[in-house]
Structure 1
Amino acid sequence: MRVGVWRIALIAWIVLGAPQAVAGGLELRSPAFSDGGRIPLRYVMPAAGGNNLSVPLKWSGVPQKARSLAVTIVDPHPVAKNWLHWLVIDIPSDEEELREGASGRAMPQGCRELLNSYGFRGYGGPQPPPGTGDHPYVVTLYALDTDRLDLNEQAGLEGFLRAVRGRVLEKATLTGYFGR
């Protein structure tokens, strides 16, 4: 019973926002899909028919007090159970984007890609089980009050959320959908 309550609380935290996050001018977008739109095939895993290119992300309105940024992509669908597709930390606060296909190749200097739920470091695109409908992929950009998060590559979503608790100045989300 406690595990179920914890999962519900975690989904609410991801979707609705952390209590300490303050609404502001931070904006997140992708040139590849609109908020609420469909994620193009080239960004999904090969087993789902794609090329597993990391999605391009752009942002603006980073608070002046931000010292670093972080990005998560999570699938909160009940079948996926908060599957972590991408976790990037320690992004310099003056960066304005993650380019298409940057994961593992052309990431901003100083940032770190941690392990995803597939078990490898970097971006792992959508690959929902067939017949489970469209899954939401929630991209969240966090503006943080610290230069560096003390996390190992196996921290996972829960470890990341614990590490940023009380450090989030603002956050912005973008949701794309994919199903098969």
Structure 2
Amino acid sequence: MTISRFLAVTLGLALHLGAHAADFTVTSTDIAPGQTLAHAQVFQGFGCTGGNQSPQLSWHTAPAGTKSYAVTLYDPDAPTGSGWWHWSVFNVPASTTSLPAGTTAATLPAGAVQGLNDYGDSAYGGACPPPGDKAHRYQITVWALKTDSLPLDQHASGAMLGYMLNANALGKAQLTGLYGR
């Protein structure tokens, strides 16, 4: 096989796989893309008085070979120098394609784990940007993974989870909501 033929086949395969990953989507009955988060998704504490309830999420058309999922909620605009991890759930079985509003460790699918958020809990921690800041972006990402489970527990930091997710991702789908006060 010539180099040009090899490159053409490789590029074709990459475009084919990329097209399938582009079909992977996440939706929510609680969050509209680019819109303000509801009071239910705002933190209760740090000067915020919200419901501190995780949003309902559904995902569709995961890449072929998906063996498990992870869900993260991250604020890249937090004034920390490293963003703010609000929620992480991993080792979600591949047969699961949604999480209800108000998901807790007790209501997760068997085997799924909630990791540590930056509030210091292994739970959902809602939006709570500093008063006067511009609206922050709250990025909900569903990760399709090539492994049945990640070797992490409920004490896993966002950074460690992020490392493992990027090493095992087949694709990801993202939904972004906004919140400021």
Shorter-chain TM range is 0.7 to 0.9
User: Judging changes above 3 Å, is the alpha-carbon distance between structure 1 residues 74 and 44 closer, same or farther for their aligned structure 2 residues?
Assistant: same
Distance 2:26 2:113 in 1: 20
Are 2:148 and 1:147 equivalent residues in the alignment? yes
Aligned partner of 2:9 in structure 1 is none
Aligned partner of 2:97 in structure 1 is 96
Aligned partner of 2:58 in structure 1 is 58
Distance 1:139 1:121 in 2: 17
Give, as a single letter, the amino acid of the residue that structure 1 aligns with 2:84: W
Distance 2:84 2:38 in 1: 19
* CA-to-aligned-CA distance 1:97-143 (integer Å, 9 cap, x gap): 11000123411121000111000111000111111121100011100
**CA positional deviation for 1:154:** 2.9
Distance 1:178 1:36 in 2: 10
RMSD: 1.6
Aligned partner of 2:179 in structure 1 is 178
For normalisation by structure 1, the TM-score amounts to 0.83
The gaps in structure 2 that reach 5 residues or longer are 1-16
Distance 1:125 1:111 in 2: 20
Aligned partner of 2:85 in structure 1 is 84
Aligned partner of 1:13 in structure 2 is none
Aligned partner of 1:156 in structure 2 is 157
Q: Is the radius of gyration larger for structure 1 or structure 2?
A: 2
Are 2:38 and 1:40 equivalent residues in the alignment? yes
* CA-to-aligned-CA distance 1:39-77 (integer Å, 9 cap, x gap): 101111123221111111111112231000001100000
What's the secondary structure of 1:133's corresponding residue? coil
Tell me, yes or no, if the aligned pair for 1:62 and 1:93 is still in contact at 8 Å.
Answer: no
What's the secondary structure of 2:107's corresponding residue? coil
Percent identity reads: 34
**CA positional deviation for 1:78:** 4.7
**Which residues in structure 2 correspond to 1:127-142 (within 5 Å)?**
127-142=128-143
The gaps in structure 1 that reach 5 residues or longer are 1-20
Aligned partner of 1:10 in structure 2 is none
Tell me, yes or no, if the aligned pair for 2:76 and 2:138 is still in contact at 8 Å.
Answer: yes
What's the secondary structure of 1:152's corresponding residue? coil
- Equivalent residue pairs, number: 160
Tell me, yes or no, if the aligned pair for 2:117 and 2:125 is still in contact at 8 Å.
Answer: yes
What's the secondary structure of 2:170's corresponding residue? strand
Tell me, yes or no, if the aligned pair for 1:88 and 1:113 is still in contact at 8 Å.
Answer: yes
